[in-house]
Structure 1
Amino acid sequence: MNANELRDKSADELRDELVKLKKESFNLRFQQATGQLENTAGIKAARRQAARVKTILNEKAASAAE
């Protein structure tokens, strides 16, 4: 999901997406620690996607404060 698609979502939907991404990130890190993770690039992708969601949330908060 790219930034433009995220901007179309509401703040509540973005928070739900962030929770989902954090759970995914935790599961990937757990798999890596136990040696079960095959695709290590998934960790980086999940972290970057979570950062995108946080950035959009901050943009929405800043525009609402103005």
Structure 2
Amino acid sequence: MDLSRARWRKSTRSNGSGGACVEVADNLPGVVAVRDSKDPAGPALTFSPAAWRAFVSGVARR
């Protein structure tokens, strides 16, 4: 999957010292990508928008 046009943003829950952070790109049609901010050239997980919404909703309920 080509993520070259992804606009990555850091989680609002990330700490300022660069610790355990994830970045999300939700500007691509039909996909939401997630990566480790400490390894931006590394792998990214991709989800359908519906699957991502279900994940975020499940996390928010905890």
Higher CA-based Rg? 1
Question: Which bin holds the TM-score, normalised by the shorter protein?
Answer: under 0.3
TM-score normalised by length of structure 2: 0.26
Structure with greater proportional strand content = 2
Greater RCO, CA 8 A, separation 6+? 1
TM-score normalised by the chain length of structure 1: 0.25
Larger % of helix: which? 1
